[in-house]
Amino acid sequence: MIEFTVDEATRVGEVVLNAPDKLNALDEHAIGELAAAYDEALRHAQAGELRALVLRGEGRAFCAGRDISGVDPREDDVQGYLGGIVEPLLKRMAAIPVPTFAVAHGACLGVGLGLLIASDIVYVADTAKIGSPFANLGATLDSGGHALFVERLGAHRTMDLIVSGRLMSGAEAVSAGLFSQVFAADEVLDATRAAAGRAAKGATQAFVASKRLVAALRDERLGLWASMAEENRAQAALCDTADYREGFAAFQEKRTPEFTGRG
């Protein structure tokens, strides 16, 4: 079961994976519900009613990956599931035009790892388990895990994780540069909500401009001068926003800015 809510006062939304009995593992139906929740988040963001979004899981784990409890491997349409359902969802998540946060605790595996990769900022419990436990299934890492691990860990450490099946702790994953910050398990949700609340009060369009540039640097491998040119264009476009003018006015008047998030 997937839940989506928005706090009208703070304009912070939450998407909750709420199937703790199966560690929030996702079958095709749950993926459809999650896609619908992000479609709803997109509508709220476009209407200016959402300025930050938090993704979290109920229970002992964030998401243990795909729910394979009823899958017959002889009839399994893996390409249809991963390429036709999961990949479009992850792209939809990454395109939400506000800062997005995820809370990683317990098992964060397979598709669960992909959900983290598709989020902008990931705060991790020290007890989180992250890696590639698929060797025992005769399967391989999916949902963007190879790209993340090779980019951050290098080829040798990636292959070591895959072949050994060893899972990294949250502290190790953050130390290796996989995700943002690590917290005690009983503090990570509050820390993430607080960060999302601060982001929701910020200059949303400036954050979105950086989000697009970061994605281009990752996906298109822009060099220094190409990325600088993109920065210049983004900054010039922001000059026409109310938040840009408010930020300069607040600085000059020595007061705290009051951003609306609008263009």
- Smallest CA-to-CA distance from 123 within 18, 214, 201, 193 is with 193
Regarding whether 45 and 77 lie in a shared domain, the answer is: yes
Residue 149 lies in a domain: yes
Whole-angstrom distance, CA of residue 134 vs CA of residue 148: 16
Q: What is the pLDDT of residues 212-221, one digit of tens each?
A: 999 999 999 9
User: 158, 177, 200: which is the final residue of a domain?
Assistant: 200
The number of distinct structural domains making up the chain is 2
Residue 57 · residue 63 · CB < 8 Å: yes
CATH number at residue 142: 3.90.226.10
pLDDT at 193: 98
Regarding whether 28 and 67 lie in a shared domain, the answer is: yes
Residue 90 lies in a domain: yes
Residue 117 · residue 89 · CB < 8 Å: no
pLDDT at 116: 98
Regarding whether 168 and 229 lie in a shared domain, the answer is: no
State yes or no: pLDDT of 103 exceeds 90. yes
pLDDT at 135: 81
pLDDT at 104: 98
Regarding whether 247 and 196 lie in a shared domain, the answer is: no
Average pLDDT on 174-203 reads 97
State yes or no: pLDDT of 263 exceeds 80. no
Q: What is the pLDDT of residues 63-77, one digit of tens each?
A: 999 887 877 788 778
Regarding whether 243 and 160 lie in a shared domain, the answer is: no
**Length of the chain counted residue by residue:** 263
Model pTM above 0.85: yes
- Pick the more confident residue, 109 or 66: 109
Regarding whether 235 and 110 lie in a shared domain, the answer is: no
Q: What is the pLDDT of residues 34-46, one digit of tens each?
A: 999 999 999 999 9
Regarding whether 210 and 184 lie in a shared domain, the answer is: no
Residue 3 · residue 41 · CB < 8 Å: no
Residue 100 lies in a domain: yes
Average pLDDT on 98-106 reads 98
Regarding whether 160 and 128 lie in a shared domain, the answer is: yes
3-state secondary structure of 231: helix
Regarding whether 177 and 54 lie in a shared domain, the answer is: yes
Regarding whether 168 and 69 lie in a shared domain, the answer is: yes
Where in the sequence is the domain holding 240, given as residue range(s)?
204-252
